[in-house]
Amino acid sequence: MDTSRILNILFIVGMLLVAAAIYLFNPTEYTFMPKCIFKSLTGFSCPGCGFQRSLHAFLHGDFASAIRYNYFFLIAMPYLFSVVMSDVILRGEARRRWQRFTHSRWVLLGFVILAMAWWIVRNITGL
């Protein structure tokens, strides 16, 4: 088995362990779950603030709460899933096709612009 295959398997196992930890331990109830350093230092929410709580709610089937914790979850999760698919899971021509989309300059630029817009809007409106 080649090194990249082993790294991909380790990545998937690591992601499953993180998902299991977030599923089992509600980030709002356990102090050992990481907190946002940016928010701790500045008092402002970053684009990802609420993602742990959002993922916890999503994994428990509470989709409305998942979205309320971080509205950007609706955009980020499908995109991040696509990136993992294209970089870790798929092989051959399917991988190349997905990567042409997920790694395209315009898709990445759009994702960054949406994240920055969300960052500004959430801090102005208090969402």
Q: How many CB atoms lie within 10 A of CB 65?
A: 14
Comparing 127 with 62, the larger pLDDT belongs to: 62
If you average pLDDT over every residue of the chain, what do you get?
A: 89
| pLDDT value for 92 | 87
Quick: pLDDT tens for 29-82. Answer: 888 888 888 888 998 998 888 888 999 999 999 999 999 988 888 888 899 889
DSSP sequence for 37-73 = HHHHHHSPPPTTTTHHHHHHHHHTT-HHHHHHH-TTH
pLDDT computed for residue 120 by the predictor: 93
Q: Which two tokens stand for residue 59?
A: 């994994």
Separation of alpha carbons 111 and 1, rounded Å: 34
Could you give the 3-state DSSP secondary structure of residue 127? Answer: coil
Question: 1 pLDDT exceeds 80?
Answer: no
DSSP state, 32?
T
